[in-house]
């Protein structure tokens, strides 16, 4: 069989797996609703400049703490900025942070976990001791420490949250690789003379990818929540950039007189994290071979 036929076969197999996953999500009512809401949130964030009527940094001193109405749908804050514009642009930053954190943790944590689980020995021992040292602190505390050390910025928030989530990926991927190593096809690959890196890339990585996708969707929600928490504490996205956490922090001063300042950012944050967690649960059920 030629190389072209093999590549076409591989592409067809991948397409069938993708369609199977989509069908599984569509057949789950919760998964379908979560997917639709997630797509809506992503579209709102992507097209925030077109949907929002006002610049998120524009201050209208004549409309300070204005209640929601037909002009300002979500009202205004204490210096006259449109809350709807800030919520949409803040969601944009949150999704960007979450996406970057997931990409970094899946890449770095996945590679380290594959190496640790496959090679074992002193390499595994050293990696696991470092992971255990990082795991001694809760992820939020570790993120807070790194963000405070680096200073408030979106880039530093991504680094801080990713550093706190990488140990989880390493441990889970390592445990999956340890199970895969005992399978017959791994022994057959060694007997046929495949190099260790070829075995890792062609056999280990594809088999741990479903687990990593589930963890990635759950980590997405954790990253959004952690970014909001860091911004709430003043070490996340620096003002005047819109951030859901910063809006919640500033809105607590007016919780009695202007509750819309915390209701709408809190609602957007809750919805985003909830649908991502639901998608993670649905993906776990769909990708589990025992449910097929």
- Please report whether residue 2 resides in a domain: no
116 within domain boundaries: yes
Structural domain including 90 reads 21-54+71-291
Residue 241 lies in a domain: yes
At 26, the pLDDT band (50, 70, 90 cuts) reads low
- Is residue 80 within 8 A of residue 202, CB to CB? The reply is no
pLDDT class of 13 with cuts at 50, 70, 90: low
Cis peptide bond prior to 127, omega within 30° of 0: no
Cβ proximity of 281 and 208 under 8 Å? no
How many structural domains does the chain have?
1
Distances (CA, A) of 163 to 96, 210, 260: 16, 22, 34
Is residue 7 pLDDT above 50, yes or no? no
Query: pLDDT per residue over 231-264, tens digit each?
Result: 998 888 888 888 999 999 989 888 888 899 999 9
Residue at 62 is within a domain:
no
Assigned domain for 34 exists: yes
User: What global pTM score does this model have?
Assistant: 0.85
Residue 65 lies in a domain: no
Whichever domain contains 265, its CATH number is 1.10.3720.10
């Amino acid at each position: 069989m030629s190389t072209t036929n093999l590549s076409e076969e591989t592409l067809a197999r991948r397409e069938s797996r993708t369609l199977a996953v989509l069908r599984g999500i569509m057949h789950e009512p919760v998964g379908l609703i979560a997917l639709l809401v997630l797509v809506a949130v992503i579209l709102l964030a992507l097209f925030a400049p077109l949907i929002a009527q006002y610049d998120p940094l524009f201050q209208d001193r004549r409309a300070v703490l204005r209640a929601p109405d037909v002009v300002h749908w979500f009202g205004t804050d204490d210096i006259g900025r449109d809350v709807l514009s800030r919520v949409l642009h803040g969601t944009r930053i949150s999704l960007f942070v979450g996406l970057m954190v997931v990409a970094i943790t899946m890449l770095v944590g996945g590679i380290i976990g594959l190496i640790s689980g496959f090679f074992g020995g002193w390499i595994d021992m050293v990696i696991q001791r470092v992971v255990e040292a990082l795991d001694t602190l809760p992820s939020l505390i570790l993120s807070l420490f790194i963000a405070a050390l680096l200073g408030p910025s979106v880039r530093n928030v991504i680094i801080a949250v990713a550093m706190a989530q990488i140990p989880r990926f390493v441990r889970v991927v390592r445990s999956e690789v340890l199970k895969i190593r005992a399978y017959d096809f791994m022994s057959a690959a060694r007997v046929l003379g495949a190099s260790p890196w070829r075995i890792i890339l062609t056999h280990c990585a594809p088999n741990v990818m479903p687990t990593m996708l589930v963890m990635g969707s759950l980590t997405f929600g954790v990253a959004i929540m952690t970014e909001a928490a860091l911004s709430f504490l003043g070490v996340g996205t620096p003002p005047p950039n819109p951030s859901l956490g910063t809006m919640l922090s500033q809105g607590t001063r007016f919780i009695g007189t202007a509750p819309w300042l915390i209701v709408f950012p809190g609602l957007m944050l809750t919805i985003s994290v909830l649908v991502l967690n639901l998608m993670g649960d649905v993906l776990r059920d769909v990708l589990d071979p025992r449910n097929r």
